[in-house]
C-alpha cells in the first residue's frame, strides 16, 4: 500500500504549520509562473489589509475563503497569480503612530535627524516635523507588516510572497500619481474652493463613501424670526444663516416668498425663498439655511445662489472674525467657541431675548460622522481635488451601472448594493486629504510676485513617484520654494482609496511591467467584504472604466462579516474582537480555523463559533488517523491501487458514490460556493470512515477474498479525498500526501473520478450495518459481539453481493434473507 517507514507511529497535528510553511517556501509551491499565457492564468486582486494594529478574526474568515478558491483553481491546472499587499498609508496608520509614540505632526518644523521621542504619560503630544512623522509611520508599519505576514503564513494562505507590495511603496505611489495626472489631462480631476465635509478629529476632508450615520441625542429649538418660527437642531449657526426656505406649494408662506426677515440675535436681513426640498410637514414648514449645517444646506446654497457666511473653521471652533454682513459686537457672543459652547451661549441669549418659543424638545437623530472619526462632521470652505465619479454626470453614472451588470457577483444579490450606491451619489469624489502619510498630489504651482500660488498653471512632474514637498520642479531650484516668483508644492495627499482603487494596476505592473500586465489584467477575481462595495469595489470599477474601458475583473466574491453574539460586526475599532487569531491558531490549529471560515456561505454574516473550530480539529485528526489506517493495510498479492483494480460490488459502489461527491464539490466550486464543496466532501468522508472502512476491513487485511479490490478502492478514495479537502485543510492533507505520494498535494490535479456503477450495494450494506450497531448499542453489547441470527428482508441479489462483508463487519453467525422491495432488519444477539 505505501512505504510504512514514512508513516509516523502516532500522527499528530502539532507542528504541521511550522514544518510545511518552510517546505512550501523552499520548494516555491505557490510561486507564480510568469511565462504562462493569459488563458492559463487565474489572477486575484487580493485585498491589502490596513496596517494599523493587528489582524482580527474577521480577516482570517474572509481571506481563508479566498485562499480556498485560489487552491482549487491551482489544482485545476491554472497558474494562479495571487499576490498580497499591505495598505499602509492613510489615516489609520497616522492615528496608530500618534497614539503609540505620543506625537503630532507639525509641517512647519524642520527635520531632526537625531530625533528622540520623549513621550510622557498624560502629557501633550510631542510635535515633530512631517519628515520625522513619516519616518515613524514607516517604522511602525514595518513592524506590523512582519506580524501580518507571519499570521498569513501560519494560516496557510497560498500567496506568492515574492509579489508582496505596499500602498506606500514606489510602484503604488507611481501608479496612483499617474492615475491622477491622467485624470487631470482628461478633465476628470479638478480642484474647487467650496463647501467640504470636514472631520475635526483628523483635520481633513472626507468623501461621501466614508460617511456613516450615528444616532445621537439632540433637541429641536423653536426660534422666532419676527412673525415666523423655525425649528432647528443647530441654533448656534444663526450667524451663518443666509435664507429661510419653504416648499413652493405651502400656502402659509406663498404670500411671503421674496420678502426678507431678520435673524434673531444677529439681526441680519435674509430672504424667504421657495424650494421643493423643504418639507411642509416637518416642524413649522420653514427651514433655516446656513452655510453650512448639512448637505441639504449646500444644495440650497448652490441652487438658490445664496451668499456664504462661514463661521465654523477647520479646528471645529467658530472663527474669531464675523462673516460678511454680521455685526462684530453681536458676533462676539460665539467668536472662538466650540460648537457645544456656542450652542449653549446662543440658546441662553435666545431665551433671554424672548426669541426662543418654549424649551428645547429632546430628540434622537442620525448625525453624519467620518467612519473613523469621533466628532460629528462639519462643512467648511476649503480647496480640494475631486475626481468625476458619476455623481454629477448621468452619462458616467449610466456607464458605471452597466459595468455593475457586466460584472459577475457572488452572491448575486450583492449587485444591488453597488447599484444603490451609484444611483445615490450626490457629488464627485473628493480625493485630497490634509494629512501626511499618503501619496502626494503630484503637482507644484508657480508663485506670483506676491508669493500667491497660480493654481490655474500647475507644474506637472517629468518622472514618478515624486513628492512636491521635497522634490523640485523642472526649471526651479530648491531655494525658490515659497519665494515670490518661485514655486510651492501641493500640500495635500490623496485619499487612500485613490491608491487602493488601482490595486489591479499596481500588482499587475501597469507602468513598469507591460508584459506581466498583459497576462494578468483584467483579473479574474476580486474578493472583498460587502461594506466596502461603495468604496473599494466602486472606485476600482471607476478607475478601470475611465483608464482602460474595461472591468478590472470578471467576478467579485463578497464575504460576510464575523459578528458577535449581539450580531454586531467584529472589528479592531469595535472592542469586540475577542480572542486573537494567533491565540486561536495556537489553540485549535490552522486547519480548524480554516474549516470554520470556509463552512460559511459566501456573503453571509457568521458568528464566531469556537465549537465549529473544535469540529474542524476533530475532522483534521480523523483524516490523519483514517489515512494511517488505510495506508497500513498489507499489500497482499497485488499492489495495484488504481480504480481499475476494483472488482467487488461494494467497492465499485463506493467509487460511484465518491464520483457523485466529486461532481457536487466541483459544481459548487465552479460557482464559488466553497462552503457547499466542503460540506459535500465532509459528508462523504464521515460515511467512508464510519461505514465503508468497517465493511471492508476484513477483506483489506486479507482475511477473506477480495482484498486487492478493497485496497484499491481504499487508496483511490483516500487520494481523492485528500485532494477534495486540500483547499480547506492544507496542512493535514499535505502531511498525509507526503506519506505515500511524490510532490505536493497542492500541485496535484483536482480529482475527476467518474464511476457509474450501481450504488445500491453500498447503501444496502450501510443500512444493515447501522441496524446491527443500533441493536448492539441498545443491548449494551460490544460492537464485536456476535449476532446469532441476522434476519433481513430486502433485495436478495444485492444482499448476496454484500453478505460476506456484512458477516465480517457485524460478526454474524447465521443469516435469514427474504427477497423484498423494502428493507427491514431484525438482529438476534
Residues in CB range of 74: below 8 A, 6 or more apart: 30, 42, 80, 158, 746, 747
Give the sheet arrangement for strand 260-262, strand by strand: 260-262, 269-274, 241-246, 287-290
| Ramachandran angles phi, psi of 198, nearest 5° | -130, 130
Which stretches of the chain drop beneath a pLDDT of 70? 1-5, 120-122, 565-567, 570-578, 635-643
The answer to whether 718 touches 745, Cβ cutoff 8 Å, is no
Predicted local confidence at residue 311, as pLDDT: 94
Among 360, 365, 327, CA closest to 238: 327
| Ramachandran angles phi, psi of 512, nearest 5° | -120, -5
Rounded CA gap, 373 and 377, in Å?
A: 8
Alpha-helical (H) ranges within 726-820 are: 730-740, 760-778, 796-810
Predicted local confidence at residue 4, as pLDDT: 57
Rounded CA gap, 439 and 442, in Å?
A: 8
* 657: exposed, middle or buried (Cβ count in 10 Å: 0-12, 13-18, 19+): buried
Among 490, 492, 384, CA closest to 435: 492
Residues in CB range of 425: below 8 A, 6 or more apart: 208, 389, 390, 391, 397
Chain centre to alpha carbon of residue 716: 38
Other beta carbons within 10 Å of 255: 8
Rounded CA gap, 823 and 205, in Å?
A: 74
Other beta carbons within 10 Å of 356: 20
Among 702, 819, 695, CA closest to 768: 695
Peptide bond into 805 cis (omega under 30): no
CA distances from 316 to 98, 104, 110, 184 (A): 20, 18, 27, 32
Query: Which run of H or of E encompasses 698?
Result: helix 693-700
The answer to whether 734 touches 623, Cβ cutoff 8 Å, is no
Predicted local confidence at residue 829, as pLDDT: 87
β-partners of residue 606 are 562
734-765 exposure pattern, b = at least 16 Cβ within 10 A, e = fewer: bbbbbbbeeebbbebebbebebebebbbbbbb
* 819: exposed, middle or buried (Cβ count in 10 Å: 0-12, 13-18, 19+): exposed
Predicted local confidence at residue 567, as pLDDT: 67
Peptide bond into 725 cis (omega under 30): no
The answer to whether 54 touches 92, Cβ cutoff 8 Å, is no
Helices (H) and strands (E) in the chain, counts: 24, 29
Alpha-helical (H) ranges within 129-265 are: 130-155, 170-186
Predicted local confidence at residue 441, as pLDDT: 97
Predicted local confidence at residue 576, as pLDDT: 45
CA distances from 286 to 221, 241, 278, 350, 791 (A): 13, 13, 7, 18, 89
Question: Looking at residue 747, what DSSP letter applies?
Answer: G
Per the rule left: phi > 0, alpha: psi between -120 and 50, beta: everything else, 156 is: left
| Ramachandran angles phi, psi of 533, nearest 5° | -60, -40
Q: Over 110-158, what HEC string results?
A: CCCCCCCCCCCCCCCCEEECHHHHHHHHHHHHHHHHHHHHHHHHHHCCC
Query: Which run of H or of E encompasses 25?
Result: helix 16-27
Angle 643-648-649 from CA coordinates, rounded to 5°: 105
84-105 exposure pattern, b = at least 16 Cβ within 10 A, e = fewer: bbbbbbbbbbbebbbeebbbeb
Predicted local confidence at residue 435, as pLDDT: 87
Task: Name the percent of the chain in helix, strand, coil, to the closest 5.
Answer: 45, 20, 40
Query: Which run of H or of E encompasses 50?
Result: none
Query: Which run of H or of E encompasses 703?
Result: none
Predicted local confidence at residue 739, as pLDDT: 95
CA count, 13 A, side-chain hemisphere, 330: 16
Among 749, 775, 761, CA closest to 806: 761
Among 745, 555, 787, 700, CA closest to 71: 745
CA distances from 349 to 219, 248, 265, 318, 717 (A): 17, 32, 8, 17, 84
Strands 287-290 and 241-246: antiparallel
Q: What is the pLDDT of residues 484-508, one digit of tens each?
A: 999 999 999 999 999 999 999 999 9
Residues in CB range of 571: below 8 A, 6 or more apart: 56, 58, 577
Query: Which run of H or of E encompasses 481?
Result: none
Amino acid at each position: 500500500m505505501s512505504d510504512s517507514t514514512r508513516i509516523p507511529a502516532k500522527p499528530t497535528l502539532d507542528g504541521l504549520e511550522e514544518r510545511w510553511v518552510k517546505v512550501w517556501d523552499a520548494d516555491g509551491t505557490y510561486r507564480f509562473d510568469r511565462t504562462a499565457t493569459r488563458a492559463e492564468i487565474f489572477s486575484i486582486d487580493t485585498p491589502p489589509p490596513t496596517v494599523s494594529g493587528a489582524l482580527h478574526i474577521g480577516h482570517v474568515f474572509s481571506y481563508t475563503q479566498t485562499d480556498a478558491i485560489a487552491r482549487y483553481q491551482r489544482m485545476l491546472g491554472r497558474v494562479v497569480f495571487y499576490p498580497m499587499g499591505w495598505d499602509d498609508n492613510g489615516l489609520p496608520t497616522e492615528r496608530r503612530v500618534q497614539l503609540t509614540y505620543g506625537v503630532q505632526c507639525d509641517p512647519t518644523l524642520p527635520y531632526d535627524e537625531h530625533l528622540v521621542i520623549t513621550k510622557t504619560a498624560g502629557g501633550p503630544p510631542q510635535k515633530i516635523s512631517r519628515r520625522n512623522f513619516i519616518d515613524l509611520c514607516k517604522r511602525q508599519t514595518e513592524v506590523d507588516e512582519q506580524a501580518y505576514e507571519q499570521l498569513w503564513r501560519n494560516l496557510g494562505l497560498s500567496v506568492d510572497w515574492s509579489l508582496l507590495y505596499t500602498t506606500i511603496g514606489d510602484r503604488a505611489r507611481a501608479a496612483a500619481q499617474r492615475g491622477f495626472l491622467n485624470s487631470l489631462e482628461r478633465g476628470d480631476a479638478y480642484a474647487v474652493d467650496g463647501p467640504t465635509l470636514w472631520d475635526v478629529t483628523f483635520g481633513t476632508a472626507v468623501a461621501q463613501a466614508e460617511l456613516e450615520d450615528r444616532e445621537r441625542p439632540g433637541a429641536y429649538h423653536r426660534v422666532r424670526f419676527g412673525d415666523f418660527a423655525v425649528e432647528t437642531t443647530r441654533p448656534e449657526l444663526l450667524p451663518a444663516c443666509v435664507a429661510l426656505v419653504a416648499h413652493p406649494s405651502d400656502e402659509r408662506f406663498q404670500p411671503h416668498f421674496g420678502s426678507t426677515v431678520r435673524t434673531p440675535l444677529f439681526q441680519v436681513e435674509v430672504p424667504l425663498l421657495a424650494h421643493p426640498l423643504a418639507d411642509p410637514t416637518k416642524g413649522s414648514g420653514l427651514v433655516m439655511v446656513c452655510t453650512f449645517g448639512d448637505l441639504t444646506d449646500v444644495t440650497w446654497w448652490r441652487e438658490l445662489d445664496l451668499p456664504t457666511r462661514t463661521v465654523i473653521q477647520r479646528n471645529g471652533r467658530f472663527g474669531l472674525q464675523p462673516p460678511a454682513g454680521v455685526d462684530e459686537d453681536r458676533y462676539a457672543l460665539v467668536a472662538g467657541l466650540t460648537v457645544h459652547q456656542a450652542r449653549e451661549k446662543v440658546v441662553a441669549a435666545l431665551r433671554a431675548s424672548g426669541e426662543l418659543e418654549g424649551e428645547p424638545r429632546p430628540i434622537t437623530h442620525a448625525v453624519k460622522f467620518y467612519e473613523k472619526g469621533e466628532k460629528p462632521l462639519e462643512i467648511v470652505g476649503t480647496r480640494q481635488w475631486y475626481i468625476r465619479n458619476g455623481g454629477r454626470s448621468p452619462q458616467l453614472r449610466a456607464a458605471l451601472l452597466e459595468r455593475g451588470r457586466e460584472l459577475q457577483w457572488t452572491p448575486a444579490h450583492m449587485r444591488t448594493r453597488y447599484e444603490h450606491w451609484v444611483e445615490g451619489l450626490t457629488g464627485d469624489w473628493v480625493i485630497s486629504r490634509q494629512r501626511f502619510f499618503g501619496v502626494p498630489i503630484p503637482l507644484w504651482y508657480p508663485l506670483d510676485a506676491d508669493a500667491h500660488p497660480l493654481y490655474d498653471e500647475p507644474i506637472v512632474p517629468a518622472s514618478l513617484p515624486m513628492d512636491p514637498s521635497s522634490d523640485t520642479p523642472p526649471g526651479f531650484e530648491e531655494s525658490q520654494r515659497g519665494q515670490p516668483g518661485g514655486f510651492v508644492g501641493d500640500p495635500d495627499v490623496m485619499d487612500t482609496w485613490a491608491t487602493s482603487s488601482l490595486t489591479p494596476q499596481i500588482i499587475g505592473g501597469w507602468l513598469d511591467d507591460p508584459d506581466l500586465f498583459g497576462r494578468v489584467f483584467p483579473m479574474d477575481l476580486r474578493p472583498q467584504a460587502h461594506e466596502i462595495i461603495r468604496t473599494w469595489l466602486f472606485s476600482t470599477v471607476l478607475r478601470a472604466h475611465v483608464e482602460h474601458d474595461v472591468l478590472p475583473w470578471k467576478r467579485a466574491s463578497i464575504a460576510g462579516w464575523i459578528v458577535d453574539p449581539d450580531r454586531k460586526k467584529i472589528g479592531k475599532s469595535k472592542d469586540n474582537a475577542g480572542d486573537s487569531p494567533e491565540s486561536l491558531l495556537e489553540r485549535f490549529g490552522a486547519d480548524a480555523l480554516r474549516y470554520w471560515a470556509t463552512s460559511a456561505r459566501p456573503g453571509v454574516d457568521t458568528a464566531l463559533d469556537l465549537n465549529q473550530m473544535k469540529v474542524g480539529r476533530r475532522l483534521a485528526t480523523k483524516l490523519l488517523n483514517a489515512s494511517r489506517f488505510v495506508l497500513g493495510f498489507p499489500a497482499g498479492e497485488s499492489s495495484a491501487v488504481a480504480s481499475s483494480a476494483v472488482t467487488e460490488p461494494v467497492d465499485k459502489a463506493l467509487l460511484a458514490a465518491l464520483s457523485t461527491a466529486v461532481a457536487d464539490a466541483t459544481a459548487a466550486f465552479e460557482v464559488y460556493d466553497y462552503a457547499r464543496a466542503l460540506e459535500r466532501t465532509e459528508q462523504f468522508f464521515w460515511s467512508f470512515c464510519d461505514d465503508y472502512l468497517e465493511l471492508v476491513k476484513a477483506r483489506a487485511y486479507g482475511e477473506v477474498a477480495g482484498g486487492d479490490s478493497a485496497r484499491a478502492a481504499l487508496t483511490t478514495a483516500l487520494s481523492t479525498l485528500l485532494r477534495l479537502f486540500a483547499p480547506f485543510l492544507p496542512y493535514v492533507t499535505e502531511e498525509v500526501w507526503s506519506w505515500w505520494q511524490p510532490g505536493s498535494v497542492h500541485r496535484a490535479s483536482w480529482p475527476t473520478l467518474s464511476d457509474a456503477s450501481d450504488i445500491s450495494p453500498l447503501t444496502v450494506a450501510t443500512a444493515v450495518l447501522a441496524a446491527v450497531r443500533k441493536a448492539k448499542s441498545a443491548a449494551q453489547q460490544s460492537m464485536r459481539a456476535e449476532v446469532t441470527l441476522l434476519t433481513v428482508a430486502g433485495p436478495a441479489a444485492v444482499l448476496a453481493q454484500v453478505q460476506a462483508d456484512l458477516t465480517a463487519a457485524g460478526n454474524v453467525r447465521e443469516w435469514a434473507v427474504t427477497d423484498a422491495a423494502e428493507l427491514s432488519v431484525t438482529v438476534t444477539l
